Structure 1
Amino acid sequence: MDERKRDSMIAYLRHRMDEFGIRPEDLASAIASAQAEQKEARYRSATGNTWSGEGEMPQWLKQAISAGQSVEHFQLSAKARPPVQSGRAAVDWRDDPFAGSPLARGQRQ
């Protein structure tokens, strides 16, 4: 939207607000209460789309399901899950002077 259209729209909205006795504070409180009423997200995509699980399923989730993904894949857990640890300790190979050498691969020269 260009600047003239934006300014024109703002002037129109201010005129209508004056006509109906609506103050900017009224709008702010209405927006705040609407945001508070929003349900907590139960599903989230990798791009940040969310769905509370109520109402019609959003298009992004329908497409993922039709592509073979499960709904559970997008479900958010109630509490954060601890990371899965394997029996082996993690090793940082970046500082290993022998990484990639025949010695590290277990080969004899």
Structure 2
Amino acid sequence: MPPTHVGFPHLSEGEVFRARAEAILWIRSAVARHGISVEQLEQAGCFAPVKPEERFQTSTKYIDAAGHVWDGSGTVPEWLQRAVDAGQSMEHFRIA
């Protein structure tokens, strides 16, 4: 599946992945720095409502910003291994 990156058609899939990971890290840092909760973001309308059929199956244990999922069994998928190799912790992608 080709990467979806509006406004950056010249970037490779790896560059898009790194840019997204950097953006997520920046957002997480800003949220922590300002003491913002998920509930406050939801109340502010930052998230679209999730339909019940769109919720993750219980077997999903890891997910990235692009929607790639892994159940934690077998070989670590390429998308997760690239992130770990780039310095991101695997726990960053774990679903609570």
Fold shared per TM-score above 0.5: no
TM-score (norm 2): 0.40
Q: Which has the higher contact order (CA 8 A, sep 6+)?
A: 2
TM-score (norm 1): 0.35
